[in-house]
Amino acid sequence: MNKKGRRGEIWLAEVENKRRPVAVIDKETMVVEIDRVVASVTSQPPRNEYDIVINHWQEAGLDKPSIVRCSKINTLHHNELFFKVGKLHDDDLAAVLSKIRDFFGND
């Protein structure tokens, strides 16, 4: 199956009845074949320690400085990903994945 979305990519998606950018955070082998696990991306200022600034936001294809809300995780059908915006820089992706691990804890 040719599904959309690979880890680290930024996509425009339908989330809570609104089109918004999301970062794909799952490994393709971790979830059901047709689902993607994503974190919300926003240009709003950080609210808490789980909001990670995208330092390389232009390289990621974003129009303005943005953050990934690592505490705002959703599961979407891959068909809810409309088009690819870009890809997170490796440093930004590493920071996001580390913060998500912190959010869920190692207990």
Q: What is the mean pLDDT of the chain?
A: 90
What tens digit of pLDDT does each residue of 35-52 get? Answer: 889 999 999 999 999 999
Q: How far apart are CA 93 and CA 107, in angstroms?
A: 23
Q: Is residue 1 part of a domain?
A: no
Q: Is the pLDDT of residue 1 over 50?
A: no
Domain that holds residue 58: 9-104
Tell me, what CATH number does 81's domain have? 2.30.30.110
**26 within domain boundaries:** yes
Per-residue pLDDT averaged across 91-99, rounded?
A: 97
Q: What is the DSSP string of 83-101?
A: EEEEE--HHHHHHHHHHHH
72 CB contacts (<8 Å, ≥6 apart)? Answer: 39, 40
What is the DSSP secondary structure assignment for residue 31, as one 8-state letter?
Answer: S
% of the chain surpassing 90 pLDDT: 72
If one counts the domains in the chain, the total is 1
Give the whole-angstrom CA distance, residue 87 versus residue 44: 19
Q: What is the pTM of this model?
A: 0.90
